[in-house]
Amino acid sequence: MLLGCSMLAALAVDPALAAMTEHQQQVAAWRAGRVERLTAEDGWLSLIGLHWLPVGATQTLGNGEGNDIDLAVGPARLGTLSWADGKARFEVDAGAQVQVDGKPVTVVDLSSGDNAHPIVVRFGSANFQMIERGGKHALRVKDNQAATRTGFTGIRYFDIDPNWRIDARFEAYDEPRSIEVATVLGTLESYPNPGRIVFERDGKTHSIEALLEEGIQSQYFLIIADRSSGKETYGMARYLYAGPAVDGHIVVDFNRAYNPPCAFTAFATCPMPPEGNRLDLYVAAGEKTYASGH
């Protein structure tokens, strides 16, 4: 794995980094990238609202209680959202300044996007997009001046431990299947579930159901809880990716286990561990509980 330029520069001036093993350097570089994504202007720390949309209803959007949806940011009246033939349309209020893809707009077809490539409506320091979860639609609102972003206090970690980089086996299921995963909001999400990951630890055999996320086929999405959950780590779950599997073998590096977005904000739609992914292990690796969590 190649390290980024910033990481190489750090290695040149920091003896502690230079003394790391290759595995430690890789995990440190991954952690730096993770924080960069988390704290980006449109990262999870900028999330300030989640508003469910009744299909067919006409709703005003703006900053304040005089609106059907209070965005808590931007002008007093930003515009109006309406539906026609099951599609959402946003009409910008006179005097409001709104952009999509860097261009001023007055009308936006929100339904022309999808979860992987949503239409992002920007105004001032904020933006919103429409998402779909469990057959329901919602507006996700972000603000790069959100207190969760400007007041970010950093992530705490367990020490990088090569013993938590585990060689496992991937057991593919004979037939294509999917699994229903509950979210923190009480909705259900369906994920392709091509197989499970099996490994040995502390004299016992453990397994994790491997999921596939939309648009990502090269890595498996793992949603886990373990005996550290609610103690040193976030109580609901931690996430990590593994793969690809090669000839039935796969590496699972628990040093890259990370907190879900709902560890930082109350407005995320985080999936919870499916049945079977609650490990009878104390996984002392990866991210610890966020000290300033909601």
State whether 75 and 97 are in the same domain. yes
State whether 159 and 294 are in the same domain. yes
Tell me the one-letter amino acid at 238: R
State whether 180 and 247 are in the same domain. yes
* Single residue among 121, 148, 175 that ends a domain in this structure: 148
Domain carrying residue 4: 1-38
State whether 290 and 237 are in the same domain. yes
State whether 53 and 142 are in the same domain. yes
Measure the CA–CA gap between 61 and 69, rounded to whole angstroms: 5
Per the omega criterion (within 30 degrees of 0), is the bond before 274 cis?
A: no
Measure the CA–CA gap between 253 and 26, rounded to whole angstroms: 11
CATH of the domain at 100: 2.60.200.20
User: What are the residues facing 178 on neighbouring strands?
Assistant: 192
> Tens place of pLDDT for every residue, the chain, 294 residues?
334 455 555 555 566 667 789 999 999 999 999 999 999 999 999 999 999 999 999 999 999 999 999 999 999 999 999 999 889 999 999 999 999 999 999 999 998 877 778 999 999 999 999 999 888 999 999 999 999 999 999 999 999 999 999 999 999 999 999 999 999 989 899 999 999 999 999 999 999 999 999 888 889 999 999 999 999 999 999 999 999 999 999 999 999 999 999 999 999 999 999 989 999 999 999 999 999 866
State whether 120 and 208 are in the same domain. no
Q: Where are the beta strands (DSSP E) in 54-125?
A: 59-62, 69-70, 79-84, 87-92, 99-100, 103-104, 107-109, 121-123
State whether 134 and 248 are in the same domain. no
Number of structural domains (the chain) is: 3
Measure the CA–CA gap between 144 and 195, rounded to whole angstroms: 39
State whether 159 and 86 are in the same domain. no
State whether 118 and 51 are in the same domain. yes
Instruction: Give the DSSP per-residue string, 177-240.
Output: -EEEEEBTTS-EEEEE--EEEEEEETTEEEEEEEB--TT--SSEEEEEB-TTBTTTB-SS-EEE
